[in-house]
Structure 1
């Protein structure tokens, strides 16, 4: 029988190469919550390739499990919050955990974000026992507020299975030396995480790792090849995988403290000039440039605010100072619509500059024959933005939607297009206007008049049938009957636009029309309620 979690037993004679594995359950979900891509509590799941890759305990209580399709998962749990899987996010959020582990147990080998192996020999000698070393790893995870499980065994594979066999009450399992094979024997062959081999073994009547381990090595080599030999060694508890400690990345963050705190933007910007230059110089010395920067501000009340800034090329010292200054300035409206967001409400005592994304400096060198047109455009726009503010220079991008003004997205120069907007733009939108698209799209629909031959507003019945053909068009609806009219020479439509019927606030029930007036201008019109509106003009 396998040993009980956390209860060591005397080891038989002989020595083996031992390994300790730290496992952080549902790490993709934990990383998404740390990055605030998912709510901190409640049912939530991370989706990869249309299936659930990780889910919260609240979601599991509602019947959501890994591998379930997203539609089925949302059917079982209607309040399920989801976000797409992001390996970069998982690795980025795992970095502070690794740093905390390395402070207590040097020699960490990252198997993947959320799973790492640690050299146990030195840690056990330092802490006095393998159990104490496992406790130190759990303390490191507790200090960061994340859940961890630890397994110690004769091999990395056995230690992984031991960590996954722990419970909430006993968070670590230490397998005595020379017992890993017996511990692994009852596990199904799927534990090898080789679906092809597991399927073949089951067809041959081999369902557990113990059955597989009892096969002669020569037969395994001749039938399954080198991959089968490696899997056979894992099943015997003799996984040859060595723990290769990673080289800790160079610390590139820059922290600036103010004592006493500063409450004026110009003072903070002046004090940051030298540290910003040192921050960029350290990156360049490491052969890197920063293309995405996180700025964290802490005031004297302990409130911390963070923002991630992008850059169309890479940050220089002046760009870093500008981003801090913009983050400190009050904004008329933030993306959530809150007026007066941002600004200094208390003295700032700490500014942290954290490179969110870096790139090799070799791909960002100056052209051999001087700066090109693109570089001059970048410098000009950056200079305007520095003088007039972040929102003074906007770059258009395509978003998702059926109504044209919803598809236009303006983002400040240097900021990346929001991930959700890019995903929405790539999705199909049945009922949207086909190409060619209008050249002029109004920021908000403009009221117009569309009249029939009798001078009455053109109407459409509830079934979408045109009651009278259009004869006259007036782009100035505010002028009323005295406004100059244009004859409608060509027209087509109507096309029904029905969306979000289930949402009381965002539902839309409208009809679309295309016309060409007597001046040769083509218009895209929208009938909503009793009024005609111009969405766009074909120039």
Structure 2
């Protein structure tokens, strides 16, 4: 009997499984807690034992440890924070200050780690594998970084390492090193609110907050609940931001690895002639090349993950800094990052300012990838006239200075001059105070259309020629009836309100006004609106009446009347 042996079929190669946290590179995060407070305390020389809070027009953004012990929390209203801690030192938020003060921290990190990315002021990202091999372990890297930051920058920091960006950020907030291959387990039992730590901008924070709220309402309260979802289901229900959250919850980077050949870097540069040693001079060139880079990215329909700022001095020294970019930035946001970095180099606060003026500035967009959301705008490209006006304004700024070309920004406020803020062309034109919020005690309409830079002093008289005054109770007192005449001294006119004597036709008020009474610059006074004759001679039996009339807003303070504005 003969036997036959079957030839074994060739083995079918296994399909590649889903990418896991163990496949991700080890990342390190250096985090300085409450960095806005540390930056403000450093620049304004505020003792560290005092309670300090950094705030924007809406709420507290960061608080020092003494302030938190008194009950001050992030997101709290300023008035509530002051009630809890009367000795609280309030400092307005300033992103440029945060970047300037953070530069010595970045320079100190570069003594230990060669290639770093600035995620935001107060946080630095770096690849952990290289420094760990060189120094003998990740714990040794963390120890050296904490020590050198304390010695050279004078602040305390925390270092964390793990696979995946979110895991590394949370590890840094706890000051631990997550063992290799355990990032997914490290994240699984954490609240889904931990995703908020992945945001690097205020706009991104708002988007992440909306997503977290939706996930919690759907019953997905832990990162592990998000991680076990199917990728296709997440994409269909939560779109791109949900996919980023899904990857972060699994211990991966928020950006999906590219499966095709990466797009080439986009570089733009310009020579500075003459070389720039001041930030206001370098900022003009920075704005132009930042807008050029943004235009090239927009035309290609792409975004970049890294922005490299390169500056060369007249002595051929080179300054390089890399910023981590989240999503598609506007031209203004891109310009701000470049300008902040230049301020950090040129302000002299970095400890190692350039030894010579800057002669060349270059921006490089790295890790360029397609972005379906990048487009010209809902209504198409900007009009040609708008583009030409923007170029003309930038050119005029270069000729007469950045603070000589201003743009009005409507805001909320009680006084007319508080409702308009002038900012330099190209700077952030976002209102600091909402105009549609209730403003008790605000000046009623009609509001002045012409406001003086320096209010002129005038005299308001009654029919008997005596001065009209307002007492401490806010009541107008006259010796002979109502206001009858407004006298504008020589050289103190405003628009149609020329120097001379103007007959008062009607009046309204007074309304008491008290602003910032708790500060040395506080104002106490009273508003009064008067309608005065324009043209014709005041008084007299043969007066044929004024050719026209106008409304003047007066403010009574410091025992005098001041013109706060006129209705043109």
Band of TM-score, shorter chain:
0.5 to 0.7
Q: How does 1:213-252 map to 2 (within 5 A)?
A: 217=228, 220-221=229-230, 225=234, 238-239=251-252
Distance 1:463 1:239, change over 3 A: closer
Q: Of residues 175, 178, 199 in structure 2, which corresponds to 1:175?
A: 178
Distance 1:138 1:435, change over 3 A: same
Q: How does 1:57-456 map to 2 (within 5 A)?
A: 57-78=65-86, 79-84=88-93, 86=95, 94=102, 97-98=105-106, 100-109=108-117, 112-142=120-150, 143-166=152-175, 173-180=176-183, 183-184=186-187, 186-193=189-196, 195-196=212-213, 199-200=216-217, 203=219, 212=225, 217=228, 220-221=229-230, 225=234, 238-239=251-252, 287=289, 423=432, 430-432=441-443, 434-435=445-446, 437=448, 439=450, 441=452, 443-452=454-463, 454-456=464-466
How far, CA to CA, are the matches of 2:267 and 2:42 in structure 1? 22
Q: Of residues 499, 510, 516 in structure 1, which corresponds to 2:514?
A: 499
Residues 170-214 of structure 1: per-residue CA shift (max 9 Å, x gap): xxx23333444554455344434462465257x47xx6567x49x
**Is residue 459–residue 467 contact of structure 2 (8 Å, CA) maintained in 1?**
no
Distance 1:178 1:374, change over 3 A: closer
Shift of 1:101: 3.4
- What is the TM-score when the length of structure 1 is the normalising length? 0.55
Residues 136-182 of structure 1: per-residue CA shift (max 9 Å, x gap): 4334533333432122334444333322223xxxxxx2333344455
Shift of 1:496: 1.4
Listed as ranges, the gaps of 5+ residues in structure 2 are: 1-21, 197-210, 258-263, 293-346, 348-353, 366-383, 491-498, 538-545
How far, CA to CA, are the matches of 1:515 and 1:187 in structure 2? 66
Residues 41-74 of structure 1: per-residue CA shift (max 9 Å, x gap): 4323344683433221121111112343444323
How far, CA to CA, are the matches of 2:178 and 2:364 in structure 1? 43
Distance 1:450 1:99, change over 3 A: same
Distance 1:145 1:253, change over 3 A: farther
2:60 counterpart SS class: strand
1:475 counterpart SS class: strand
> Which residue does 1:510 correspond to in 2?
526
1:162 counterpart SS class: helix
Query: What CA RMSD, in Å, does the superposition of the two structures yield over aligned residues?
Result: 6.0
> Which residue does 2:36 correspond to in 1?
29
Residues 292-334 of structure 1: per-residue CA shift (max 9 Å, x gap): xxxxxxxxxxxxxxxxxxxxxxxxxxxxxxxxxxx9xxxxxxx
- The number of aligned residues is 417
How far, CA to CA, are the matches of 1:469 and 1:136 in structure 2? 80
**Is residue 19–residue 243 contact of structure 1 (8 Å, CA) maintained in 2?**
no
**Is residue 248–residue 254 contact of structure 2 (8 Å, CA) maintained in 1?**
no
How far, CA to CA, are the matches of 2:566 and 2:222 in structure 1? 69
Distance 1:426 1:127, change over 3 A: same
> Which residue does 1:469 correspond to in 2?
481
> Which residue does 1:6 correspond to in 2?
none
2:456 counterpart SS class: strand
> Which residue does 1:4 correspond to in 2?
none
1:152 counterpart SS class: strand
Distance 1:499 1:103, change over 3 A: same
- What is the TM-score when the length of structure 2 is the normalising length? 0.53
